[in-house]
């Protein structure tokens, strides 16, 4: 009788222990924010990167027949390694730049697609692509975590972390004119916390110089990839629009990083 009772108690204890460990494991797994932060530290590696960067841009200022619409496309070769970040311009690209600059000197309204696209390839735009972990870390630090839920990305299981952006991410000068701001950041991560993609949406409205009211909207969609121990951004699409002082404007930019071995 005693032996039977002891065996039953032992089984109940084992079941309870397994259940507790299972629940604890689920809570650990559910802490996606900690997993993300750990991954962002781990993926600030120094593995050399070599890639072709293509930039496509489109913009429109104004309405109707008086609208000024421009588009552009350009590609450069980039490398990051022991010597730092280097950008290479092909001879064909340099030749097109020369032609467009001469055309613009003759006619300020001349279309300059290569120049327009290259204006979107500068150090502040290149760094987030190559040092994506640092860039995403700063965004997370300035955001307020809201929730986590199970989701999918590219048809595979993923975790979706949602954040609320605050006006504190803007400069003191910008905050001076903004009366209303809303921002959201969504980040899809893998089981180990590695970022897969992110999406940021911001809207703002306010008034400048007493009589000029304005409103703006900005969307950023980013896709990430790995090069050894380094997180990189392999695609970034930005859309923005704004209106104020009787003027309207729209802009769209797509940067694609084609990694090379």
Q: From residue 95, how far is each of 89, 90, 99, 101, 228 by CA, in Å?
A: 10, 9, 6, 10, 35
Which tokens sit at 82? 């022991």
Residue 183 CB partners (closer than 8 Å, separation 6+): 164, 165, 166, 169, 200, 201, 202, 203
pLDDT by residue, tens only, the chain of 261 residues? 444 444 444 443 444 433 333 333 333 445 999 999 999 999 999 999 999 999 999 998 888 777 888 899 999 999 999 999 999 999 999 999 999 999 999 998 888 999 989 888 888 889 999 999 999 999 999 999 999 999 999 999 999 999 999 887 667 777 777 888 899 999 999 999 999 999 999 988 887 765 677 788 999 999 999 999 999 999 999 999 888 767 788 999 999 999 997
The residue ranges of every structural domain in the chain are: 1-30, 32-259
Helix (H, G, I), strand (E, B) or coil at 136: helix
Element housing 78 (H / E):
strand 68-81
Long-range contacts of 110-113 (CB under 8 A, 24+ apart): 111/70, 112/70, 112/72, 113/70, 113/71, 113/72, 113/73, 113/74
pTM passes above 0.95: no
Interior angle at CA 46, CA 44 and CA 49, nearest 5? 110
CA distance 216 to 240: 7
């Amino acid at each position: 009788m005693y032996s039977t009772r002891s065996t039953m108690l032992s089984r109940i204890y084992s079941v309870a222990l397994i259940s507790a460990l299972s629940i604890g494991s689920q809570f650990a797994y559910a802490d996606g924010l900690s997993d993300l932060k750990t991954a962002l530290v781990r993926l600030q590696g120094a593995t050399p990167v070599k890639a072709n960067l293509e930039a496509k841009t489109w913009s429109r200022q104004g309405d109707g027949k008086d609208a000024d619409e421009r588009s552009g496309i350009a590609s450069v070769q980039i490398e990051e390694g022991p010597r730092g970040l280097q950008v290479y311009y092909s001879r064909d690209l340099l030749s097109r730049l020369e032609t467009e600059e001469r055309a613009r000197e003759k006619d300020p309204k001349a279309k300059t697609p290569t120049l327009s696209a290259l204006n979107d390839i500068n150090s502040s735009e290149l760094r987030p692509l190559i040092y994506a972990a640092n860039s995403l870390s700063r965004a997370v630090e300035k955001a307020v975590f809201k929730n986590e839920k199970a989701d999918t990305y590219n048809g595979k299981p993923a975790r979706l972390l949602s954040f609320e952006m605050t006006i504190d991410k803007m400069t003191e000068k910008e905050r001076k004119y903004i009366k209303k701001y809303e921002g959201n950041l969504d980040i899809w991560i893998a089981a180990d916390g590695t970022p897969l993609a992110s999406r940021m949406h911001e809207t703002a409205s306010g008034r400048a110089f007493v009589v000029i009211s304005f409103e703006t909207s900005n969307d950023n969609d980013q896709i990430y990839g790995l090069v050894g121990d380094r997180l990189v951004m392999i695609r970034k699409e930005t859309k923005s629009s704004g209106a104020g002082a009787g003027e309207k404007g729209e802009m769209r930019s797509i940067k694609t990083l084609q990694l090379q071995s």
